[in-house]
Chain A
Amino acid sequence: MTFDAGTVARALEELEAPGESVVTSVRVPEGLRHAATVLQQAGLISSWNELLVQGARDRVEAIAHRAGLDAHYAEHPELRPAVAEVALALARMDANELADEPELIEQAATELIALRPDATADDVLTYATALRAHRPAA
């Protein structure tokens, strides 16, 4: 079945509106249930139900986002950003000083991908931070 990100998004939109809910049976490890009860009694969460719904929603959105981007890259492989580009974008969003050193990020990406082809953009930033820390003083 083809994944439709819009269908997922529209279904999630309905969470904002008062509407029907369904009762469903979920097998939960006893320890998890107990931990949630302790948090609720301490006033740290309002309800077990809210915890489950919010957690499930965050996870559903994260999976849908990943699947949506992968579908986009499958259709337009030329649009997939390189890991160095993603790392630079994260550095900018994080107000990380590495944002001012795109060449260092590029170097880190090249070296790290040669060692670990599945490295993430955050892995590249960590590697770049180490490169900078061990860079000889000018």
Chain B
Amino acid sequence: MATPAATLVLDSEAVTVLADVGHRKHRALLAYLEGMAQRRSRNPSHRVIVPVAVRIEAGWDRTDPKAAVINRVSGARDVPLTGEAANTAERLRATTGVSVVDATVGEAAHAATRPVVILSSDVDDMHKLAQRIQGEIRVERV
């Protein structure tokens, strides 16, 4: 029996696609967020999260009028990069060789309620991270 995803993590490509109404994958990714929104209506503990480093890489400033689309469709909560989180991210980066930003995606997944789904274009690197994190971490290709 499949266990419903409790947390959806957005990576930079997912943010880029969701921010661009004209992107050919925009509607397809909206289906994931619509699904999470429907579940959140019944159980608000379901979450969509975005590491702050991903926001920087994707150019997502919530105060910028250009961010209006991603602000309203994502429903994403920021995952701050604290000192403790940076230590975890560095350990993940060192053992997998992924980028700094991807390591923060791994750290966010590590700290989130399972099962976690990472929505990413970099499936290979995310699988490397998932193998280093205990609990059910799934990766969905953008």
Contacts and interface: CB of A to CB of B under 8 A. Distances in A.
B34 interface: yes
A32 interface: no
A66 B31 contact: no
Contact of A6 (B28, B32, B62, B115): B62
B140 A93 contact: yes
Given A10-B62, A71-B72, A16 B30 contact: no
Contacts of B8: 93
B2 A81 contact: no
B111 interface: no
B75 A61 contact: yes
A15 to B, nearest CB: 9
A62 B44 contact: yes
Q: Is the interface of A mostly helix, strand, loop or mixed?
A: helix
B2 A95 contact: yes
A89 B35 contact: yes
Interface in A26-64: 55, 58-59, 61-62, 64
> Interface residue tally of chain B, by bracket?
35 or more
A44 to B, nearest CB: 15
Contacts of B46: 62
Interface stretch (B63-71, B93-101, B102-110, B122-130): B63-71
Given A58-B44, A68-B75, A79 B30 contact: yes
A87 B31 CA distance: 8
Interface residues of A, number: 42
Contact of B40 (A62, A76, A96, A97): A62
Contacts of A5: 68, 71-72, 75
A71 B5 CA distance: 25
A39 to B, nearest CB: 16
Nearest to A88: B31
Contacts of A78: 27
Contacts of A67: 72
11 contacts: A6-B62, A13-B78, A62-B37, A62-B46, A65-B40, A68-B71, A69-B75, A79-B27, A80-B30, A93-B5, A93-B35
Interface of B: 2-5, 8, 21, 26-28, 30-41, 44-48, 62-63, 67-69, 71-78, 80, 115, 117, 136, 138, 140
